[in-house]
Structure 1
Amino acid sequence: MPANTTASSPKKKKGRRARLLVIVLVLALVAGVGYGTWWSISTVRASFPQTTGTIKLEGLKGQVEVKRDNYGIPQIYADSDEDLFRAQGFVQAQDRFWEMDVRRHMTAGRLSEMFGSGQVETDSFLRTLGWRRVAQQEYDTKLSPATKKYLQAYADGVNAYLKGREGRDLSVEYAALEFENDYKPEKWTPVDSVAWLKAMAWDLRGNMQEEIDRSLLTSRLSEKQIKDLYPAYPYDRNKPIVAEGGVNPVTGKFDPDAKPSDISGNSGSSRGGNSNSAQGAAQGLNSQLAALSETLDTIPALLGPSGNGIGSNSWVVSGRYTTTNKPMLANDPHLAPQLPSLWYQMGLHCRSVSASCQYDVAGYTFSGMPGVIIGHNQDIAWGFTNLGADVTDLYLEKLTGDSYQVGSEERRLTTREEVIKVAGGSDRKITVRSTEHGPLVSDRSDELENVGQKAPVSNSAPDRGAGYGVALQWTALQAGRSMDAVFALNRAKDFATFRAAAKNFEVPSQNLVYADAKGQIGYQAPGKIPVRAEGDGTTPAPGWNPKYKWKGYIPFDELPYELDPERGYIVAANQAVTDAKKYPHLITKDYGYGTRSQRINDLIELKIQGGGKISTEDMRTMQMDNSSEIAKLLTPYLLKIDISDPYVREAQKLLEGWRYTQDPDSGAAAYFNVVWRNVLKLAFGNKLPKELRVEDECLNVRPADSTAPDDELTKRVRECGQRDTDSAQPDGGDRWFEVVRRILKDEKNEWWHSPASRTDAATVTRDQLLARAMEDARWELTAELGKDATSWSWGRLHQLTLKNQTLGTEGPGFLQFVLNRGPWNLSGGEGAVNATGWNAAGDYSVIWVPSMRMVVNVGDWDKSRWINLTGASGHAYSAHYTDQTDKWADGELLDWAYGAEAVQARTVDTLKLTP
């Protein structure tokens, strides 16, 4: 952790003057008059990048050209690797430095230096995890000399941009921040770039929240009921990514062509041992685990809402089935909506590829990191989706003073001191304690400081009079080589070099789909995935029992992959990687349930079986498919319900003839999704432990008199307020599709029982509960969209608002007006291929999205298409702030130029960087 920062105490300015200056800025931006107009426009424009002419850039060896198209997307041309990445740092800082600066403060646990005391708890937790410390270890001990050289060149480019600039010269956010404190950005370092991979890994970490939730459920539900809520993956219905093959016991390697008789398999059931388990202790720690869950919710979810259906789509089709006779590859990662988008489109081109200049690559990058994360070079294309591997375990640790118990031993805790600097306040000091498993995350919650004191004695746990702690073991807290892998992917020329690059992509674990210009398609599951001697990672483990230690990691040679499968396509959309019965290692028991992936499989098969060839437009259309799988399953049952209330019957009629599509103007989609949310709450919500349940008075707002006036009903519904979208109450994702599917034919299943309300009798059968959900949905929509059911539309409920991730969410209302955009009425929904996700524990607003979309025409690269959620620029009021969003919302794609001639044809601005 850096010992010194450039942050200092706030300027001693009068608060009134500061407020007046902010008001002048905002009024000028909105009204555009007088002296304020000149001041505010000059403030905004001062940070806009120079995109034409010539700039001298210190450290360059030769001239670099930056060509931008009419969307501001840059393509960089250079004659050496270092010049290429130095220019990349400079250009990304031009467009996105505020975003980069906030990210590095977040990953280092230093947000309080920018935003004050409100970020101390977040910083404390992130310091406890130690992302920045691990990134420093990676840089010092793991990364190759070439990678370090590129990282330094990138940092030099960023710093060349920062030189001589501060405050309003960097962005309007800094101009606003200057009114509150004396913060000045410090120089960029290579470790700032490496640390961002830890933030990626955090939001894609797997099933930590599920571990907590399952433990909390034991206080109220039986083992059978918990099993009902976490059903096994439906391998018989939803295909895994890798359909065939397994680990050959003779070679010890994964063989995608191996026959069932030649491979070893294991269902994972042997890893569920309960000897001296933590279950007894966990049952006594419900309030403490709930506190940990709340602590996790305070950590910024930069990539998506943790534990709530985050996923992605990717697939690749062989040239046998495409109109170009070459492979096509599609990818759309589903992440949290942000402004600017998490992604930055860019091309990095060596004018002549050689040993001294090795890159000719284009695609999606992260601002703050050199290289391209997803995209293609002149030989191969690749895409990412979250593999979902279980790479975290929570351990309950028996603590006595400054020691913890392992077997019969007492071992001393490792400790370190961290100082958090606070803008406008005094420094805060914390002590981070760790066991052999990892940091004690329980130390960051007041409720967890004496964790275990109230826990009852259990035969399965040691005496807990001295208390427990909760430690986190996570693969990302070990130094690795993922940054090496990024550059190796950018240079890869064939499947062998692609796999060699993937071998070092240890964290976060991702599904990698592949295609090359020679016509091959493939898949690789990389990542550092633990092997557990005992336990299956689904609930917290007993730290005092040595049997529950990780005993290593799945060897890369044993991780699943495919090359040119006979079926002619590969789909990787967060479903199971391979059949657990055919595979000897446990990757996770918490895969996505395959709703999206199977829909993509079905769409591809439908086209192939019809004898047609798949085009770029077909791939785009598949990405926008908004069909609802749960609607197909549930709607026939809803239509059979005999509804006597004419107002509810009017709503029910919307479902007649509906084809289960979720278009923004669809009244049927609006009604069904509100019914679905009410089904979940009635069937499951009231049965969950209070630690998981959000009390929702909105379920019982329906007046006894169905003719109640709109204004009264609207008031009663809206008084309920906004629900917590990160709640562990049923979120409506495809796990819940599977839960309901398995009980739907059992009309008297206990889950259909719901208690009486002020206006309704208790339900004891499926049809009674469905009828009540339909009534509640009718009145909820009456309040939200009006009495006339024919005027309802899904898009009016299902809206996307893009928010600046800092001052756009936490800043004053007028500043949010300046920085934020929207709303947009969207199609799609939960579990759909067009995954505009919403959380049924909250409302219907969009909380994760296809953060970008691309369709790559492999080998005919200039016919590829792409789109970003927002735009290239992070500067509010830039022409490229959200200039792609309307097209993104409509499902359109932009032309993606790659070759020199195509790029030149679309160039509208050229900037020359000279030594």
Structure 2
Amino acid sequence: MRFRPYARLPRPFKWPARVLTVLVVLGLLLAGTGVWAVRASFPQLGGELSVDGLTAKVTVYRDESGIPHIYADSPDDLFRAQGYVHAQDRFFEMDFRRHVTAGRLSEMFGAATLTEDRVIRTMGWRRVAEKELPLLDERTRRYLDAYAAGVNAWMRDSGGFADRSLEYVLLRATSPDYRPEPWTPVDSLAWLKAMAWDLRSNMSSEIGRALAASTLPRGRVEQLWPDYPYATNPPIVTRGSVGPGGFDQNAEPGTDSRATDPGTGSTRSPRQPGERAPEPTEGPSEQAPLPTEGPATQPAGAGVTADAGTGPGADAGTGAGDGGRPDADADVGALTRAAAAMRAVPSLMGDPAGGSGIGSNSWVVGGRHTKSGKPLLSNDPHLSAGMPSVWYQAGLHCRVKNPECPFDVTGFTFSGVPGVVIGHNDRVAWGFTNLGPDVADLYLEQTRNDTYLFRGEWKPMTTRVETIKVAGGADVRLTVRDTMHGPIVSDVLEDAKGTLPGMEAVAGQKADAVALRWTALEPGRTADSIFALNTAQDWQQFRAAASGFEVPAQNLVYADTAGNIGYQAPGRIPMRTRGDGTWPVPGWTGEYDWRSTIPFDDLPSVYNPPEGYIVTANNAVVDPRRYPHLLTEDWSYGYRSRRILDLLGQAVKDGKVDVAAMSALQKDSHTGLARFLVPRLTALEVAGPARDALALLRGWDHSQGADSAPAMYFNAVWRRLLIETFNDDLPEGARPDGGDRWFEVVRVMLERPDDAFWDDRATPGAETRDDMLRRAMAGAYDELTTRLGPEPRDWRWGDLHSLELVHQTFGTSGIGPIEWLFNRGPFPVAGSDDAVDAAGWDVQKDYTVGWLPSMRMVVDLADLDGSRWINLTGASGHAFHDNYWDQAPLWAGGRTVPMLSGLEPIKKAAVHTLVLTP
């Protein structure tokens, strides 16, 4: 993730009304009513409140962190109360989110957010959510209805703007006619689309490859996306293959006669790492609707040829006369528009820049390696920083757990969505990391008016007109065009013109539009899975729940109180008729369409592995030599997972693992990049005062604490090295961000001192590796001397690698008094992009932290009340409330608080008790 959070949205004050807003706020403060305006919306946390629709009393206990535990006699009352409590603490956040997912931000913030609304309306997130609702289980719909009723009961009780949130007081100055609408179940479902978007896997790499191909030949582009290093960084699942009944952790490759090529459906031997999927010699007929499960079929006799690099973009950039580089004036307008549209989508969880930095860690350790003899489970999803945090901690408990009321669950929730997303119940714990399969493809289209070319015929597009209401302005009409491959996303930004590079090599024609096919734009039943996970009691029920978690596809780790551990890969993952999803493909040929999805039973899983622990950190799921289906070609490169495996292996040798050891591992700041880069740096002779800075790296242990001088210099060198080495070769949008893909690119290049990328095209000579390393060290020294002073020993990583918690809307207003009300920080932060303590930053911008462990959790299956957790900010979304950011200093210091789940410990820790009555 690359920060600033929500930097593109909204800036409602970048217009004349900002002056009015400043005057209003200053007037409130000067009149002595500022305290009232701030505190008016603080919720009632104790005593009794009447809530419409309850059938019996509900009790809400809150500890000093404001974390609620809700006790009810029925699921309907439980989720009605959860909706009420979420709204008490986070309603403005919820209201803002639903306007994002519906493409209705301009109703709140005016014309400043029209671009965001246009893009989301084009994709139609809310339209998909509306189609999903009737597909859900009746029980799920009932829970969604109850939750919505609880939110609406709070809305009726909260009265005016000031009683709801300080944000509404400010919003009224610029959008006086705005009124929040009642909450609906679709508002909750649409949030899952935002979650899926921010965890959408390799789309940025797909765009990046195509943009890079506008300036480089195919071979040099592929060098920037190297093969996954299976030999050194093991995948999550290290055994098993697909057998007659699906994935079998005891099977060996080649035992399943139905193992098929993911691109063709034809029987084949497993691929080697990095080998592209074979491609058929002819394409399918017009695409049928994509099924969500079940084995795919293929017409008998479908031909197969080995992939010789003839896929889309294979000849991109094969212009004459410059070593295969295309002409300098090659126009990349359609793809540039599509890329800009992707970046315009508001990021509620992930990378606002659409980069590939999103990550997460989870691991589970079996009882034979723990002090208690029972499993331990750890999870820390890496998401964007914001105020308030994306997570909301809560406990949902039936007073008497039984088949009619089966919930006794504690964990992290999303405000606006009922249930618990990550956590544990009385028997089972689970965690998520992003699996990262390739679930989205960009199709290059040839269009003529409202038709598009497909297999030699001009077919009519499906069109619709969306009306966007704009606060303080006239309505805006948007025409959305869809092909069989999905919405035309390049239509949204019309200020660029042109076609894609190199597409003459595919079907001899150029594209003038880009369509998006993405699994989340097809209705599904992921919401059913949330409640099934919350109530699962064993491995079989857990897998059944996981089977419905379609988008976003996540790595699921599992542990239970009986002592079992496991891993399951769920998700709706397409099977392509041709291609591997790494490049935009021509839609008009009909050769690259999706034909089915990987059956759930074929997806990798493991249960009680012999090594006694499982690690996921966005690394490859399974070695393609033992797995017949293509999940993706664009994994994270395994530097974090390798470090976790090494440390866990050592911990197992040294003794039994406990909760404290799991928490300490979450804070490990070691960088795997230093292992191969530091020896090259320290082997060089460096002249001048930069020698003192280089001396910092000699004897450095490669840890990146906030007070580390070596870490500050090393990361400054890394930043300068990437910028100096690659920016001259690559267009914006394909330049390095600093993540672990670039670790692998540079690792390989360090063995090639004369690689063409080392040469600076702007200079007359030919630079080599050592030239660029010296240049990076000198540039880093100059930068840090200017910013931090002349003495290298006084530099500190946390001085520049810091976190500011920025409010999701008003925090980027550009008005000091407004930002002071809502933003908090900065905090010095340890770690880096692909340390276990993964506090990421973008080398193209600054060292400022943009994505991070959004929460940390360690569950002890021997003593659930001995579990630990921490949120990035706090429970409350109300500025100046005691729980607005009280967990942030603890988070920054690597500390956690008790994760209680038993009634007696919860009652003992409670500082507020609220009884909700019918």
TM-score by length of 2: 0.90
Give the aligned partner of residue 182 of structure 2: 187
Give the aligned partner of residue 387 of structure 1: 435
Give the aligned partner of residue 468 of structure 2: 420
Shift of 1:291: 2.8
Tell me if structure 1 keeps the 8 A contact 2:433–2:556. yes
Please tell me whether residue 839 in structure 1 is matched to residue 842 in structure 2: yes
Give the aligned partner of residue 647 of structure 2: 603
- Is 155-164 or 676-685 further displaced after alignment? 676-685
**Within 2, Cα distance between the matches of 1:665 and 1:845?**
15
Match of 1:799 among 796, 802, 811: 802
**Within 2, Cα distance between the matches of 1:247 and 1:574?**
21
Residue 460 of structure 1 aligns to which amino acid in structure 2?
V
Residue 617 of structure 1 aligns to which amino acid in structure 2?
A
**Within 2, Cα distance between the matches of 1:226 and 1:275?**
15
Per-residue CA deviation, residues 822-859 of structure 1 (Å, 9 max, x unaligned), is 00011111110000111111110100010000000014
Residue 369 of structure 1 aligns to which amino acid in structure 2?
V
- Going from structure 1 to structure 2, the CA distance change for 1:84 and 1:909 (only over 3 Å counts) comes to same
What SS is found at the alignment partner of 2:210?
helix
Please tell me whether residue 224 in structure 1 is matched to residue 219 in structure 2: yes
Give the aligned partner of residue 670 of structure 2: 627
**Within 1, Cα distance between the matches of 2:501 and 2:879?**
52
- Going from structure 1 to structure 2, the CA distance change for 1:667 and 1:762 (only over 3 Å counts) comes to farther
Give the aligned partner of residue 708 of structure 2: 666
- Going from structure 1 to structure 2, the CA distance change for 1:19 and 1:661 (only over 3 Å counts) comes to closer
Give the aligned partner of residue 723 of structure 1: none
Shift of 1:285: 5.1
- Going from structure 1 to structure 2, the CA distance change for 1:671 and 1:634 (only over 3 Å counts) comes to same
Give the aligned partner of residue 711 of structure 1: none
**Within 2, Cα distance between the matches of 1:488 and 1:820?**
37
What SS is found at the alignment partner of 1:779?
helix
**Within 2, Cα distance between the matches of 1:371 and 1:526?**
19
Give the aligned partner of residue 288 of structure 1: 334
Shift of 1:176: 0.7
Per-residue CA deviation, residues 445-464 of structure 1 (Å, 9 max, x unaligned), is 1145x653x87882523545
What SS is found at the alignment partner of 1:269?
coil
Shift of 1:768: 1.9
Shift of 1:644: 2.1
**Within 2, Cα distance between the matches of 1:494 and 1:115?**
47
What SS is found at the alignment partner of 2:59?
strand
Please tell me whether residue 403 in structure 1 is matched to residue 446 in structure 2: no
Residue 227 of structure 2 aligns to which amino acid in structure 1?
A
Per-residue CA deviation, residues 461-498 of structure 1 (Å, 9 max, x unaligned), is 3545xx62210000000000000000000010001000
Please tell me whether residue 637 in structure 1 is matched to residue 669 in structure 2: no
Match of 2:612 among 563, 568, 577: 568
Please tell me whether residue 365 in structure 1 is matched to residue 408 in structure 2: no
Residue 147 of structure 1 aligns to which amino acid in structure 2?
T
Residue 266 of structure 1 aligns to which amino acid in structure 2?
R
- Going from structure 1 to structure 2, the CA distance change for 1:673 and 1:178 (only over 3 Å counts) comes to same
The aligned runs of 1:225-240 (5 Å cut-off) are 225-240=220-235
Aligned length: 848
Per-residue CA deviation, residues 330-369 of structure 1 (Å, 9 max, x unaligned), is 0000000011000000000000011221100000000000
Per-residue CA deviation, residues 414-440 of structure 1 (Å, 9 max, x unaligned), is 011100000000000011000111000
Shift of 1:370: 0.1
- Is 278-287 or 86-95 further displaced after alignment? 278-287
Shift of 1:281: 8.0
**Within 1, Cα distance between the matches of 2:315 and 2:651?**
53
Please tell me whether residue 209 in structure 1 is matched to residue 214 in structure 2: no
Give the aligned partner of residue 265 of structure 2: none
Per-residue CA deviation, residues 284-325 of structure 1 (Å, 9 max, x unaligned), is 652331232222222111112122311000000000001111
Tell me if structure 2 keeps the 8 A contact 1:280–1:461. no
Tell me if structure 2 keeps the 8 A contact 1:277–1:461. no
Give the aligned partner of residue 749 of structure 2: 743
- Is 347-356 or 191-200 further displaced after alignment? 347-356
Give the aligned partner of residue 144 of structure 2: 151
The aligned runs of 1:20-99 (5 Å cut-off) are 20-25=23-28, 27=29, 36-37=31-32, 39-99=33-93
**Within 2, Cα distance between the matches of 1:635 and 1:649?**
14
Please tell me whether residue 874 in structure 1 is matched to residue 867 in structure 2: no
Residue 827 of structure 2 aligns to which amino acid in structure 1?
W
Please tell me whether residue 270 in structure 1 is matched to residue 313 in structure 2: no
What SS is found at the alignment partner of 2:487?
coil
Please tell me whether residue 254 in structure 1 is matched to residue 247 in structure 2: yes
**Within 2, Cα distance between the matches of 1:280 and 1:460?**
9
TM-score by length of 1: 0.90
What SS is found at the alignment partner of 1:458?
helix
**Within 1, Cα distance between the matches of 2:184 and 2:338?**
32
Per-residue CA deviation, residues 645-678 of structure 1 (Å, 9 max, x unaligned), is 1x11111111121111101111110000000111
**Within 2, Cα distance between the matches of 1:458 and 1:356?**
62
Give the aligned partner of residue 556 of structure 2: 512
Shift of 1:395: 0.4
The percentage of counterpart residues that share the same residue type is 50
**Within 2, Cα distance between the matches of 1:288 and 1:584?**
34
Shift of 1:252: 4.4
Shift of 1:277: 4.0
Any stretches of 5+ residues in structure 1 without a counterpart?
1-9, 29-35, 693-727
Tell me if structure 2 keeps the 8 A contact 1:211–1:539. yes
Residue 911 of structure 2 aligns to which amino acid in structure 1?
V
Tell me if structure 2 keeps the 8 A contact 1:158–1:188. yes
Give the aligned partner of residue 764 of structure 1: 767
Give the aligned partner of residue 577 of structure 1: 621
**Within 1, Cα distance between the matches of 2:632 and 2:312?**
19
The higher-RCO structure (CA 8 Å, 6+ apart) is 2
Higher helix share: 1
Give the aligned partner of residue 387 of structure 2: 339
**Within 1, Cα distance between the matches of 2:504 and 2:57?**
71
Tell me if structure 2 keeps the 8 A contact 1:308–1:839. no
Tell me if structure 2 keeps the 8 A contact 1:288–1:447. no
**Within 2, Cα distance between the matches of 1:457 and 1:147?**
47
**Within 2, Cα distance between the matches of 1:909 and 1:747?**
65
- Going from structure 1 to structure 2, the CA distance change for 1:763 and 1:780 (only over 3 Å counts) comes to farther
Please tell me whether residue 525 in structure 1 is matched to residue 569 in structure 2: yes
- Going from structure 1 to structure 2, the CA distance change for 1:910 and 1:627 (only over 3 Å counts) comes to same
What SS is found at the alignment partner of 2:229?
coil
- Going from structure 1 to structure 2, the CA distance change for 1:374 and 1:597 (only over 3 Å counts) comes to same
Please tell me whether residue 496 in structure 1 is matched to residue 540 in structure 2: yes
Residue 644 of structure 1 aligns to which amino acid in structure 2?
A
Shift of 1:746: 2.3
Shift of 1:21: 2.1
**Within 2, Cα distance between the matches of 1:146 and 1:202?**
26
Match of 1:116 among 110, 123, 126: 110
Give the aligned partner of residue 285 of structure 2: none
Per-residue CA deviation, residues 99-154 of structure 1 (Å, 9 max, x unaligned), is 000000000000000000011111011000000000000002x1011000000000
The aligned runs of 1:818-833 (5 Å cut-off) are 818-833=821-836
Any stretches of 5+ residues in structure 2 without a counterpart?
1-12, 260-269, 280-306, 318-325
**Within 2, Cα distance between the matches of 1:736 and 1:327?**
35
Per-residue CA deviation, residues 683-728 of structure 1 (Å, 9 max, x unaligned), is 222111x344xxxxxxxxxxxxxxxxxxxxxxxxxxxxxxxxxxx4
Shift of 1:221: 1.6
- Going from structure 1 to structure 2, the CA distance change for 1:276 and 1:229 (only over 3 Å counts) comes to closer
The aligned runs of 1:580-729 (5 Å cut-off) are 580-610=624-654, 612-645=655-688, 647-688=689-730, 690-692=731-733, 728-729=734-735
Tell me if structure 2 keeps the 8 A contact 1:67–1:74. yes
